[in-house]
A and B are shown apart, each in its own frame.
Chain A
């Protein structure tokens, strides 16, 4: 398991994805898995960068574990309580005119991962996703 701490800012996204790719490279993950996990981590990290620290600057810790049958990624922030899983799923059958984009990122993560969970613990938001190798 490897962990790294990033400023919770959109501009850090490229560094976050580079970290993930580095870890997945070491684990010889397939290109498809790399893309799927990159999209998922982008959505989660961007969410934290947008919402976790409305009045201050903060950080997000990313832990990546590639040792088991699944890749497990855990994202922890000390921002305001925010459970992205509590939001209802967007209606993906709406017409173009009515389609709303809010919530789509988390929906994509839910659909593409084998598991996703949220915990609020000791003043921290902890999101964990996993995907079989």
Chain B
């Protein structure tokens, strides 16, 4: 998985590509924990993400909880396959999906 960071004012966008799985989820977790640099809005751009397992969903939930205290988190460019996973697991009702 690759994570590309883009900063615009208070907003941090993380563009994720490849696979968010058991092996790569800790990378995203580390960025959300340590590299927010005061951002109040976090957008995860999933345009080039092909795969999310439960390990990835766990990090999304962690990010959502972290950001809800200081601002907000959203998911953008969510493909149908990943949307389906979010719906099945009830996260479509929790996360802001753009």
Contact = CB atoms under 8 A, between A and B. Distances in A.
A46 B90 CA distance: 22
A46 B88 contact: no
A24 to B, nearest CB: 14
Interface residues of B, number: 23
A80 interface: no
28 contacts: A14-B23, A17-B21, A35-B50, A35-B51, A35-B81, A36-B81, A38-B51, A39-B51, A39-B53, A39-B85, A42-B21, A46-B22, A92-B89, A93-B90, A93-B93, A96-B61, A96-B64, A96-B65, A99-B90, A101-B54, A104-B54, A104-B58, A104-B89, A105-B54, A105-B55, A107-B88, A108-B88, A108-B89
Interface of B: 21-23, 50-55, 57-58, 61, 64-65, 68, 81, 85, 88-91, 93-94
Interface of A: 10-11, 13-14, 17, 32, 35-36, 38-39, 42-43, 46, 92-97, 99, 101, 104-105, 107-108, 111-112
